[in-house]
Structure 1
Amino acid sequence: MRLHVGCAMWTHAPWQGRLLPQPLPPRERLRAYATWCNAVEGNTTFYATPARNTVESWARQTDPDFRLLTKLPKSITHERCLTGADEELRSFLTAIEPLGQRAHALWVQLPGSFGPADLGTLAAFLRGLPRSHRYAVEVRHRAFFEDARAERMLERVLTDAGAEWVPFDTVALFQSPPTSDAERDAWAKKPRMPRRVRALTDRPIVRYLGRDDPARTVEGWQPWIGTVAGWLREGRSPTVFIHTPDNAEALTLARRFHDDVRAYLPGVDPLPEPLPAEPLTLF
């Protein structure tokens, strides 16, 4: 059994020289990260479609079973609201072709304004997507979490398209007032989302946001340990992304989450040994 875990990015200043080697050229940064985790969120593609040679570099730095959850550009999801974006979508799909199976799912993150009345638009958009990719949808409108009818309608749309619902669990963050600048910033910017643990496909995806205190982050993810282990027992192949407000310890915490699931379910394959932060010497 293989559990995929990762972070919101593969390069982060607090990791350099402490967890990852420094300096590293851009063409080596994802490779070093991939010795720590076997998945990563592709948030950068939200802001701009990457050059194809950049994506080719990502593919060269990772094994075929590495998972990259690639976010659709905001020009498609937020500016055009899933309509009239055929040209942007074609450009994006062409750019990410070199990833092959590493493009675990194309991530459709929708704005908080996208509510139950917009489900027809989502259904039409998903029907028009090529079947060569898997898709995962993240919604932030509270009606989908508080109105049972809206929840069922969204699940029906996603199930018909074979798409997964990506939960963003922010319960731990908002459980008590912030204690750092990064937490205060997250309180202002992150959505207050309830915990959702229902998987729609054989490849569930979880985004979990903890606290800057690692102990509180670990405490907050405890409900996920049994859920993820249960998915693995059912033959599903989950991917879990660990965030904290400052992400300073996200790399080590992602591996800790993997260790916690393995302690609960020893049949889970181990992660690779991380690349040393300091270069190896002969003496």
Structure 2
Amino acid sequence: MRLHVGCAMWTLKSWQGRFLPHPLPVGERLRAYATWCNAVEGNTTFYATPARSTVESWARQTGPDFRLVVKLPRTITHEGRLTGVEEELRSFLEAIEPLGPRAHALWVQLPGSFAPTDLGTLAGFLRGLPRSYRYAVEVRHRAFFEDERSGRFLERVLAGVGAEWVPFDTVTLFQSPPTSDAERDAWTKKPRVPRRSVALTDRPIVRYLGRDATERTIEGWRQWIDTVTEWLREGRSPTVFIHTPDNADAPMLARRFHDDVRARLPEVEPLPEPMPAEPLTLF
């Protein structure tokens, strides 16, 4: 029984010398991160399709059981809005091919303006994708969460191709006013939508955003501990990504989430031992 946990990135300046060894070549940072977490969000691909050689490096640094949830480029989802993007999609799929089984799901994050009236476009786009990958869709328009009919329609579209609905749980962030610059920035950028915790497939994906204060982040994820534990008991294989506004403690928090689930289900496979952040010495 395995639970996958991870962060929004695999390297951050504040992690160097604390969670990750420093100095560390760019081509070794994912390998070091993979000793902390067994999954990561592939957010960088949203901004540009990576070179195939870069993706080959990601594959070399991780084992086949490591999970990357790889975001489709914004040229496909936000600029093209899933229409007339065949060439961009072909280039992207060619680039990520070296990931093999590490590409846990291709992540279709849609803009907040993508409404229930656009679901026909989404359905056509998903039907045209190769079946060699799993797909996960994140929507941000409030109607999908507040209008029951719109939510059911989206679920039918996703079920038709075996795709998952990715919730981005920001409830904890917006429970009370921000107390740091990072939280204030997150308040202006993150979607304010109701929490959703229904799995459509056997591999649900959750994005959880807490606060910069560790205790508030942990308090806010209690419902997810219950939900993820139940999913595992049902035989599902979830992936949970832990965010905070500054992400300074994200690797530690991801492992804490994993520990909290293992406290309920000891049969969950443990995470690897983290690589030492400081070089080993003889004395």
TM-score, normalised with respect to structure 2? 1.00
Give 1:18 deviation, angstroms: 1.1
Aligned counterparts, 1:142-157, within 5 A = 142-157=142-157
2:40 corresponds in structure 1 to 40
Give the Cα–Cα distance (whole angstroms) in 2 for the partners of residues 34 and 178 of structure 1.
31
Q: Does 1:103 align with 2:103?
A: yes
Give the fraction of aligned pairs with identical amino acids, expressed as a percent. 82
- One-letter identity of the residue aligned with 2:81: C
Give 1:282 deviation, angstroms: 2.1
- One-letter identity of the residue aligned with 1:20: L
Give 1:153 deviation, angstroms: 0.1
* SS of alignment partner, residue 242 of structure 2: strand
Give the Cα–Cα distance (whole angstroms) in 2 for the partners of residues 205 and 49 of structure 1.
22
1:160 corresponds in structure 2 to 160
Listed as ranges, the gaps of 5+ residues in structure 1 are none
Q: Does 1:118 align with 2:118?
A: yes
* SS of alignment partner, residue 84 of structure 1: coil
Give 1:154 deviation, angstroms: 0.1
Give the Cα–Cα distance (whole angstroms) in 1 for the partners of residues 116 and 190 of structure 2.
21
- One-letter identity of the residue aligned with 1:266: P
* SS of alignment partner, residue 20 of structure 1: coil
1:26 corresponds in structure 2 to 26
Listed as ranges, the gaps of 5+ residues in structure 2 are none
2:279 corresponds in structure 1 to 279
Which shifted more, 273-282 or 131-140?
273-282
Aligned counterparts, 1:39-78, within 5 A = 39-78=39-78
Give the Cα–Cα distance (whole angstroms) in 2 for the partners of residues 111 and 225 of structure 1.
28
Give the Cα–Cα distance (whole angstroms) in 2 for the partners of residues 189 and 238 of structure 1.
26
Which shifted more, 191-200 or 46-55?
191-200
* SS of alignment partner, residue 70 of structure 2: strand
- One-letter identity of the residue aligned with 2:85: A
- One-letter identity of the residue aligned with 1:228: V
Give the Cα–Cα distance (whole angstroms) in 1 for the partners of residues 152 and 277 of structure 2.
47
Give the Cα–Cα distance (whole angstroms) in 1 for the partners of residues 222 and 40 of structure 2.
21
Give 1:112 deviation, angstroms: 0.2
Aligned counterparts, 1:3-22, within 5 A = 3-22=3-22
Give the Cα–Cα distance (whole angstroms) in 1 for the partners of residues 53 and 164 of structure 2.
29
Give 1:170 deviation, angstroms: 0.2
Give 1:104 deviation, angstroms: 0.2
Aligned counterparts, 1:262-273, within 5 A = 262-273=262-273
TM-score, normalised with respect to structure 1? 1.00
What is the root-mean-square deviation in Å for CA atoms of aligned residues? 0.4
1:218 corresponds in structure 2 to 218
* SS of alignment partner, residue 160 of structure 2: helix
